[in-house]
Every structure is written in C-alpha cells, then in structure tokens.
Structure 1
Amino acid sequence: MKVREKKRPFQVFFHDNAVDSYLVTKRATKKVVASIRAAYYDNSSKELDARYRGELLVYQTVKVRQRQAEHAEKFYSVDDDHCDLQVDHGEATKRWCYYFENISVEELSHPMNGTRLR
C-alpha cells in the first residue's frame, strides 16, 4: 500500500503538470505513510514486548541481519588479463563469457583418438 500511495503524487503531477496539486498530494501521502509506519512499529514493539515471542523475534532479526552482512562482504571476483580482481558482477560475467568463447574456438593441440576416459 505504501508504494501505491507514494506513486500517486507523481502520477497526479505527470498528468496535470500542476506543481500545487503535486505538493498537496505529496503532503497527504507523507501523512498516510507516516501513519502506516507508526502502526507497523507499534505492532512490532508490542510483539517484541511479549515474553517468549519477543525473544524469538529478536533472534530471528539478528540472524537475518547477520546473513545480510555476510552477503554484503562476499563479492564476485575474477582475475582479468592484468591480474586485477574484478569486483563488479557485470564485468566478471563478461570476463567469463570471453574466457569460455576463447576456449570453445581454440583448436585442440592433440588429435582425438577413439579412447574414452574412465
């Protein structure tokens, strides 16, 4: 619901091109979002105050935060031609594509015989 409420002022501005109506709708939207946010935090604080359920929620929250931190610390790295680590996922993917394209078009240095590996 918050996303719809936030999009509404821009849609009004986009269709009317009236700054005044945009500002009025934006202020109204901020009030709605603030009330929804306050209700959410009120509900969350009540759940955290419960004796057993509150402890479980705290542990779950800590676990989720820890996983997010671990995920942020991991990075996608590949050495490029100059032996530099590429941290950007897109650049690393391009490097892998380039690498596999070169492997697939290279000629084999030895002729294939009919033997199979076991």
Structure 2
Amino acid sequence: MADPRAVVADEFTKETGLAIDPTRLRAHQARQVAVTLSTHRSRLFSFQLNAAELDELRSDVAAQGATAESERTYVEIARFGDLPTSATVDWNTLGAITQVLLANESRAAVDASEL
C-alpha cells in the first residue's frame, strides 16, 4: 500500500502544478463525508505554503489536472473569512478547512504556553 502522504503530494502536484515534499504534510482526523448517506471516510492533510509558493500559484492561471483523462483543475485563492458567504466551496470543504485552522490555532496556543 502506498504511503498516504506520497499519494496526497502527488495528487496536489497534478491538480495545482506545484510540487511539494510529502514530509511537509500534516495528518488530521479522518471523518465520514456524508454521515447520513454513506460510511465513506475522508482523510485530511494540510501544509503551509511559503510566500514563493503562494506567488507561484497566484501567477499560474493554466489548467492543471490529468488532461489525458479530461480532468481540468484551476487554483483559486481566497481568504478564509470570505468562504462562508461565497459559493466557492461546499460545507464539507469548509468544515475541512476549519478543522485545519482550529488545529493550527490549538497547536500555536500550546507552543505559546511553553514559553
């Protein structure tokens, strides 16, 4: 079985055009995607972009994805505070983003308490 971080990094690269090191990925809690409809579970990973990577994503407007399979993806960058009132993401994605941000906030609080 393939290392989940390597699979996620490879998929991220295919869909954005930006290559990342799998060791940068942080695993979060796996959850059911639609509890009342399916037992399917989704794994969640995150990493922090640096300024150069963010600039690269902003400047590349070309379609990404597995074009041989007719998959086309485009990177969209948005502020978290704008997401709840936009139609950019679904509830599932908004919840996943919130989970990552809350986990980072909790980790920062722990780090600060150790000072």
TM over 0.5: no
Higher normalized strand content (fraction of residues): 2
Higher normalized helix content (fraction of residues): 1
TM-score (norm 1): 0.25
**Greater relative contact order (Cα 8 A, min sep 6): structure 1 or 2?**
2
- CA radius of gyration, larger in: 1
